[in-house]
Amino acid sequence: MNEIMLVVIFMGALFLLLGTGVWVGLALFGVAYLGLEMFTSRPAGDAMLTRIWTSSSSWTLTALPLFIWMGEILYRSRLSSDMFRGLAPWMARLPGGLVHVNIVGCTIFAAVSGSSAATLTTVGKMSIPELRKRGYPEYMIIGTLTGAATLGLMIPPSLTLIVYGVSVEQSISKLFMAGVFPGLLLALLFMAYVAGWSFLRPSEVPEIADRMSFFDKLKESRFLIPIVLLILMVIGSMYGGWATATEAAAIGVIGSLILAAAQGSLSWDAFVQSLLGATRTSAMIALILMGATALTLAMGFTGLPRALAEFIDGLGLSTFSLLMALMLFYIILGMFLDGISSVVLTMAIVQPMIESAGIDLIWFGIFIVVVVEMAQITPPIGFNLFVMQGITKHEMGYIAKTAMPLFFIMVGMVFIMIAFPELATWLPSTMKDAASAR
């Protein structure tokens, strides 16, 4: 049976299960079992059990629940209100005014969260009521927040990068560092869009009601100091080689507990709810990862990844053409699956392709995160669209329309990364290894 027929069978079975409402992780298990039973002589149960246990017991994966827990703790703290107080005085004088708080706030919270949904919810709580009160246009409030929240997938710590790193067996710390410059550049491009809007439609930008002195701005900035210190501890410990990604996650959890306690928002109920929230999210991701591991095993036994890699190689596609095809593929896939599911579902097939094309796996991790970010704001299953709809009660189509300019900015970011790959590869090449630093 040729590889095209195998792809049709695997993908057909997968989408059939997903279409009937089966959980993503269980759907992956089902397709893996079908593949092993139908197309190999290997006992499905024994093979899947051994492989799943081996991959699930990876020490690297412990960073995942820790970073999720850190985000959950800060989500339940007074971080959102303090962040607005610290940022607003500095953003007010920029072209576009306080709309920049959406973007900078998402950038800051992304550096302690790792989740676009958590970033959107936290920053949305603080900025939407304040910007509405000051008279900013609704389409700019909604669009910039929906798009900028996707930075939670790229700026470290990123849950998607952890899952990608485990899937392709790359250093999580190096992937985190690779996301720093592209994430900051993307934030600057979003801010440039806001500035351009303010020049094209100056009548829509509200007048600044109060002008603070430089000293007063510095005084308000004290509310940002704790969160900035936490970011520096987490990211700096990995870059300096003092901590692995898992150890940095533990540092982040301790720091977030101290920060929440200092703010007076660490109640026993908030602590328990943060644990439960982290457990639910971690269990969901773990089930998806285990299902993807089983599917990878099944595909490996059928020889499908190697056959597809040879097929693609035989087409003679240039590296650029391959990347364009993969970008389109992930955008379409992301219309129906969340980012983590998209990554783990496809790595068994895509990894041999990109390795045979000579594409750096660290760079490709950032490429795939940018493309998955686009899918977060595209209907019908763009996850950020659902979150924003829950917050604002706007129609899905309206939210997607307001975020469309930021979608095209992300497309432009892909071309920038292709033209300047050092954006993602330089910082990881300069960092120290935590193991060798000891």
Domain residue spans in the chain? 3-44+59-430
Distance CA 79, CA 72 (A): 12
**Axis crossing angle, helix 383-392 with helix 396-419, rounded to the nearest 10:** 140
Q: What is the DSSP letter of 208?
A: P
Report pLDDT digits (tens) over 112-136.
776 777 778 778 877 888 888 888 8
Residue 159's pLDDT band (boundaries 50, 70, 90)? confident
pLDDT of 338 reads: 66
Q: What number of residues does the chain have?
A: 438
Rounded CA gap, 33 and 14, in Å? 11
What's the confidence (pLDDT) of residue 438? 42
pLDDT at 243: 82
Cβ partners under 8 Å of residue 267, min gap 6:
none
Rg over CA atoms, the chain? 22
DSSP code for 61: G
Q: Angle at Cα 195 formed by Cα 189 and Cα 200, nearest 5°?
A: 125
Between the two ends of the chain, the Cα-to-Cα distance in Å is 52
Q: What is the pLDDT of residues 348-359, one digit of tens each?
A: 778 888 887 888
**Cα–Cα distance measured from residue 438 to residue 434, given in angstroms and rounded to the nearest whole number:** 7
Angle between helices 361-375 and 159-168 (to 10 degrees): 140
- Tell me: the pLDDT tens digits for 194-248? 999 999 988 888 876 556 666 777 777 777 788 788 888 888 888 777 888 788 8
- The rounded percent of the chain whose pLDDT value lies above 70 is 85
- Residue 436 pLDDT greater than 50, yes or no: no
Does pTM top 0.75 for this prediction? Answer: yes
Residues 35-79 pLDDT 10s: 777 777 666 676 677 767 766 666 667 777 887 788 788 777 777
pLDDT above 90: residue 187: yes
Give the Cα separation of 184 and 104 in Å (integer): 10
